[in-house]
Amino acid sequence: MAQEPVTVWARPERGTRGPAAVHSRAELTAVAVELADRSGLSAVSMRQVAKALGVGQASLYRYISGREDLLDLMTDSAAGEIDLDVPLSGDPVADLAALAARTRTVHLRHHWLSEIPPEPLRLGPRSLDYLEYALRAMAAVPLPGQTKMEIVALMNALISQFARAELQVSHANTDRQAAQAAYLSETAAKGDHPHVAAAMADHTEAGPAESPHALFERAMHRVLTGLVAPSSS
């Protein structure tokens, strides 16, 4: 009935019969990534990708089965940029924290990673290598495999969150954010929400702001320590 393999990774890129395809999935992915790097994820539409590639829009469906596939490819391509040849020290927390730090740089290089709608299980070959590496780092940890996988998922969610927060301040804010911030400070100044007001005052004066990288490493180290530490119950 329907086409059998519903995921890109299980579908062969080419048959053997017809004329050679002019482009490839890799090419498609590269174009999509460049488009997203420059103009955000919303710029990655079938039409724009087709235009940037110089083909008709409907032709894209010869390479992928839909936009979801494109996101899969992009995500996995980004995962491929994470260096997995770094040897493990044996300290699970330190190794995971270092991996997280490398993942963070990829997130900063590709803003759109934090915009990708988090499907459960968006795992391509490179992402799988990534998962394998992370699990290997936890090999000596006496936790069930299920829990370890959840730890990796949580770690990635945190990395995404950090990247979002970091890009938010650096990037030029839309007027929507400005309005939101204005509403926040305005409401906080009204007298209710004293703790919010205090926290925001802290934020504005503060001292020399800690470098985002250092902040990330500290927080991630703490969280991982909490997660990986042997359970006391």
Partner DNA sequence: CATAACTGCGATCACTGTTCGCAGTTTCTA
Partner DNA sequence: TAGAAACTGCGAACAGTGATCGCAGTTATG
Of 38, 40, 61, 132, which one interacts with DNA (CB under 7 A)? 61
Smaller CB separation from a copy of itself, 11 or 23: 11
Q: Please state, in angstroms and rounded to a whole number, the distance separating the CA atoms of residues 17 and 37.
A: 36
In the complex, minimum distance from the CB of residue 56 to a copy of itself, in angstroms, rounded to a whole number:
26
| 163-192 residues near a copy of itself, rule: CB under 8 A | 164-165, 168, 175-184, 186-188, 192
Smaller CB separation from a copy of itself, 56 or 89: 89
- CA 231: distance to chain centroid? 29
| 63-122 residues near a copy of itself, rule: CB under 8 A | 68, 115, 117-122
DSSP labels for 92-104? HHHHHHHHHHHHH
Q: Of DNA, a copy of itself, none, which one sits near residue 1, judging by CB under 5 to 8 A according to partner kind?
A: none
Of 7, 9, 11, 23, which one interacts with DNA (CB under 7 A)? 23
125 near a copy of itself, rule: CB under 8 A: yes
150 near a copy of itself, rule: CB under 8 A: yes
Of 149, 102, 154, nearest in space to 128 by CA: 149
| 203-232 residues near a copy of itself, rule: CB under 8 A | 203, 206, 215, 218-219, 222-227, 229, 231
Other CB atoms closer than 10 Å to residue 33's CB: what's the count?
20
In the complex, minimum distance from the CB of residue 79 to DNA, in angstroms, rounded to a whole number:
22
Please give the torsion angle defined by the CA atoms of residues 196, 201, 207 and 212, in that order, rounded to the nearest 10 degrees: 40
Smaller CB separation from a copy of itself, 23 or 122: 122
- CA 109: distance to chain centroid? 11
Please give the torsion angle defined by the CA atoms of residues 124, 171, 203 and 103, in that order, rounded to the nearest 10 degrees: 20
Other CB atoms closer than 10 Å to residue 28's CB: what's the count?
22
Q: What six digits make up the tokens of 221?
A: 């180290």
Of 146, 170, 172, 211, which one interacts with a copy of itself (CB under 8 A)? 146
Q: Of DNA, a copy of itself, none, which one sits near residue 208, judging by CB under 5 to 8 A according to partner kind?
A: none
- CA 19: distance to chain centroid? 37
Smaller CB separation from DNA, 38 or 47: 47
